[in-house]
Structure 1
Amino acid sequence: MACLEDTKAEDVVTIELAGKSSMADCMVIASGRSQRHVGSVADYLVEALKKAGCKAPRVEGMTHADWVLIDAGDIVIHVFRPEVRDFYNLERLWSSDMPEDQLAN
């Protein structure tokens, strides 16, 4: 996603969910360097989604900005602080068929 590049999000991983879950078609996981960066990335994404026609993306976690989840319908986006991302390790949970070298450490 260009929005993630624009905001300097790090370690962006896209996971296709087709056949794994009916909640969305795709999951995007990215990291921010700090709580402030995570919040800024999430704010920027929400505004970009609204401009692109997503009327009301649901957002959770902005209060603490350790892990912000943005549900845009067909796409679910997670923006983490690196330590929180490592702890929850969603890549391993959702991408058991993804090659090891494409997974975040």
Structure 2
Amino acid sequence: MTNRIEKITSILDQNKAEAIEVFDLLGKDYFVDYAIIASSLGQKHTVALLDHLKKGLKPDEHFNNVDESGDWIVIDLGDILIHIMTPEYRIKYDMESFLADLSHANE
């Protein structure tokens, strides 16, 4: 699992994603084991990061679902959820607080 997370974060980092955060949700009451959030530089960069992930992760990873809007893309790999967001959307929806609270629950 760690190698998969490292590969994802490495692809994001190499392609200029910013503020990449990984949330370990193993054993928590959530539908995935890990969530990754990264900021893009804008709408076109959000889509470009998705393309980089598809090229870098396939065929090893199965993309169960990809929910695309220009400002926020969610990639479901089954046990890992990747959020790529423009900085404005990241601030607006504050997924970090939600995931941080969730990852610290029952500690």
Q: What TM-score, normalized to structure 1?
A: 0.81
The alignment covers a number of residue pairs equal to: 96
- What SS does structure 2 have at the residue aligned with 1:78? strand
Does the alignment pair 1:39 with 2:44? no
Q: Which of 7, 10, 14 is residue 18 of structure 2 equivalent to? A: 10
Pair 73,97 (structure 1): closer, same or farther in 2 beyond 3 Å: closer
- Structure 1 CA distance for aligned equivalents of residues 11 and 101 of structure 2: 27
Alpha-carbon RMSD: 1.9
- Structure 2 CA distance for aligned equivalents of residues 41 and 13 of structure 1: 15
Any idea what the Cα deviations from partners look like across 1:22-52, whole Å, max 9, x if unmatched? Answer: 421100000001100111011111222213x
| Structure 1 equivalent of residue 84 of structure 2 | 79
| Structure 2 equivalent of residue 54 of structure 1 | 61
Q: What TM-score, normalized to structure 2?
A: 0.80
The gaps in structure 2 that reach 5 residues or longer are 1-8
The gaps in structure 1 that reach 5 residues or longer are 99-105
CA contact (8 A) 1:33 1:81 kept: yes
- What SS does structure 1 have at the residue aligned with 2:21? strand
Note the C-alpha offset of 1:54. Answer: 1.6
| Structure 2 equivalent of residue 65 of structure 1 | 70
Any idea what the Cα deviations from partners look like across 1:57-99, whole Å, max 9, x if unmatched? Answer: 42111xx32000000111110000000010110110110277x
Q: Aligned AA for 1:54?
A: E
| Structure 2 equivalent of residue 88 of structure 1 | 93
Q: Aligned AA for 1:32?
A: S
CA contact (8 A) 2:38 2:85 kept: yes
| Structure 2 equivalent of residue 29 of structure 1 | 37
